[in-house]
Amino acid sequence: MRTRIHVALLAAATLAACGKSAEDVSAELGAKAVAAMAEAKKAGDPWKAHEQLAGVLNTLTAQASCGRNFVSGMPECKGVPAATEAAVRAELVRYEAEAIKKGEPAAIEAAYNAAAAGRDYDGATKRLPEYAPAMLAAAERAQGTPQDAGVLYVAGLLVAGGKVTMRDSGRAVAYLARAWAAGRPQAANDAAMHFLSINDQRNAYLWSLRCTAPCARSSDVDLQRLQQALQPAAAKQAQAAASDAAVVELDVQS
């Protein structure tokens, strides 16, 4: 027991000699996090507040005091206190939800991408079904400007995926087509993949033709592979229509 106490005292003395203790660092970081929450409330815009607060939290987290517990020998870090960090993250979710409800494009894309990447540690996947109605409502309000491209793209992926909303091929393609026309090149590949998933190779070929740099074409919608599955007349029809953004879907009956 005496040896353990001696080691603990020695560790405390060493920390004091080097400057602030890990506990002092943690307390300071916590105070800064609380101040950051108060400052974010002044932003006046939920997504601006979210990004401001998230940036501060990331900075403070990186300033954690890390070392080795002199008693257990295990690595140990003292950063923003857990309760304070939980409060900050709750605020971030609240700002995120408010921004998505307003139809903020950056918030909608960030939330969708986090969920698609499987970032379950902060509940992003679980929140997506809650956000989906507001995301689709934002897409319905979209005017098709470049600023709307991300909102339309997310809406298309949601409806095409059929995981958090009912799958609707017509709406999916309509959203993706509008996203592509608004300046989201990758939407062409997703439209092609969606047509392929419903065994419509002619329209998959049409949209694969439209997937030009910087659009990255999936191997499943390789141009040569799709063209070989079509009659020459059907391939020529798709090629002739590919440059016309007004053509969303070819009549496969002809």
Tens digit of each residue's pLDDT (9 = 90 or more) over 120-177: 667 899 999 999 999 999 999 999 999 999 999 999 999 999 999 999 999 999 999 9
Total-model pTM: 0.84
Is residue 62 helix, strand or coil? helix
Q: How many CA atoms lie within 13 A of 179 on its CB side?
A: 31
Average pLDDT value for the chain: 89
pLDDT at res. 73: 65
pLDDT at res. 8: 36
pLDDT at res. 71: 64
pLDDT at res. 69: 64
What are 84-106's pLDDT values in tens digits? 999 999 999 999 999 999 999 99
Contact 36, 54 (CB under 8 A): no
Q: How confident is the model at residue 5 (pLDDT cuts 50, 70, 90)?
A: very low
Q: How confident is the model at residue 68 (pLDDT cuts 50, 70, 90)?
A: low
